[in-house]
């Protein structure tokens, strides 16, 4: 029997073969993430494999092309199906010029991996205690552990090729200048949007999704309103349900999960409904009180919902305050990832690869 059944690593493949689950291993998406998967497994180089994170960007990107012949792309491999425009073999750097990268999220690590492989002295500054950026939060909801593979694999390959990653280090102009960099890459990510126009948004019973996902706030047995039904909001709602809370999801748009790829919503919304989650679309949050929220619906209809806590998931905004100062100080400055434009994992990884490949 030959089967393709979410085999992501050589270890998983070996386990299935030894257990007699199947006779042969068939690979689909893992070969988009790393066409050398089989060769690396044979050579015992499993640690260097770029693992598929099951994000479905390959399917989604192909569907966005309307089946017009556009190939599906891969979030973790910028070269997949773009070999004709994205060279995998990049020119080396013989003089060991220094490039400083600010931020060790997927964009910064993608740039670091490419630059280190090319021979640049690559130094990454990360203000947090660990690498990963937004993906550290993204892997917290149920069944999202594989998202960590993206930054784990990039960091491993970057360091293997000589990149230096300094966590718990805030990048400052004097610190960067001390390295005399040939180029500087700003990959400082994004910050959550907290609208000041909502009455009560600064109350003690109001949190942002980051606080739930990083575990700094733990709630149990409470009635919680999650404001915003993007994937982050829905996945946070699932985590809160799993932790024993009663959850209500509120969305300003007329539909829940506007613009979200259907395979993601087909998976998570039925799970939320099984938990008894209530959904309110076409509703604008106007007021937060200590025991309720006020929603404004069509034709100015007002609805009050009793809640204990409110979790805001209203998107993020670019964190790029250093950009102008960097451009005044250094000749070559590149802004990538969410610091340049809010996007998804694919956008971050691909923009890091692009910037790192353009530095000559």
pLDDT, tens digit, for every residue of 264-289? 999 999 999 999 999 999 999 999 99
Going by pLDDT thresholds of 50, 70 and 90, the confidence category of residue 66 is low
Contact 57/75 with Cβ under 8 angstroms? yes
Stretch 77-85: mean pLDDT: 88
Q: What is the pLDDT of residue 98?
A: 98
Q: Residue 70 has what pLDDT?
A: 65
- The reply to whether 98-190+317-358 and 194-314 are identical in fold is no
pLDDT at 139: 97
The span from the CA of 98 to the CA of 20, in Å, is: 51
% of the chain beyond a pLDDT of 90: 87
Catalogue the E-assigned strands of the chain: 2-3, 24-25, 98-102, 121-125, 164-166, 183-186, 190-192, 206-208, 223-227, 246-250, 278-280, 284-288, 292-296, 302-306, 309-312, 316-318, 333-335
**CATH code for the part of the protein at 194-314:** 3.50.50.60
Fold of the domain built from segment(s) 98-190+317-358: Rossmann fold (3.40.50)
Nearest to 57, CA basis, from 346, 347, 267: 346
Which one, of 43, 63, 125, lies nearest residue 260 by Cα? 63
At residue 298, does pLDDT exceed 80? no
* pLDDT of the residue at 88: 65
Domain ranges of the chain: 2-52, 98-190+317-358, 194-314
């Amino acid at each position: 029997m030959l089967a393709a059944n979410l085999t992501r690593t050589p270890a998983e493949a070996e386990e299935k073969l030894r257990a007699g689950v199947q006779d042969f291993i068939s690979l689909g998406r893992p070969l988009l993430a790393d066409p050398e998967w089989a060769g690396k497994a044979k050579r015992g180089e499993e640690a260097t494999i770029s693992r598929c994170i099951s994000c479905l960007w390959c399917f989604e990107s192909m569907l966005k092309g309307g089946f017009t012949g556009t190939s599906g792309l891969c979030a973790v491999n910028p070269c997949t199906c773009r070999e004709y425009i994205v060279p995998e073999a990049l020119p080396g750097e013989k003089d060991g010029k220094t490039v400083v990268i600010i931020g060790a999220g997927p964009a910064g690590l993608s740039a670091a991996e490419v630059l280190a492989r090319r021979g640049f002295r690559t130094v990454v500054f990360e203000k947090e205690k660990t690498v990963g950026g937004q993906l550290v939060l993204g892997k917290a909801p149920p069944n999202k552990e594989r998202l960590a593979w993206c930054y784990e694999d990039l960091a491993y390959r970057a360091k293997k090729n000589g990149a230096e990653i300094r966590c718990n280090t805030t990048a400052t102009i004097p610190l960067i200048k001390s390295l005399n960099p040939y180029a500087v890459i700003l990959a400082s990510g994004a910050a959550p949007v907290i609208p000041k126009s909502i009455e009560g948004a600064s109350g003690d019973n109001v949190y942002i999704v980051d606080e739930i996902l990083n575990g700094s706030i733990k709630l149990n047995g409470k009635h919680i309103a999650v404001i915003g039904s993007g994937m982050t909001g829905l996945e946070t709602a699932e985590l809160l349900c799993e932790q024993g809370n009663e959850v209500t999801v509120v969305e300003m748009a007329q539909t829940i999960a506007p613009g979200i790829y259907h395979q993601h919503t087909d998976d998570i919304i039925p799970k939320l409904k099984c938990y008894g989650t209530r959904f309110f679309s076409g509703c604008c949050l106007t007021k937060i009180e200590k025991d309720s929220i006020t929603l404004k619906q069509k034709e100015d209809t007002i609805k009050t919902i009793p809640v204990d806590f409110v979790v805001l998931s209203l998107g993020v905004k670019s964190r790029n305050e250093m950009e102008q100062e960097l451009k005044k100080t250094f000749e070559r400055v590149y802004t990538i990832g969410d610091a340049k434009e809010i996007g998804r994992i694919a956008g971050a990884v691909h923009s890091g690869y692009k910037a790192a490949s353009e530095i000559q």
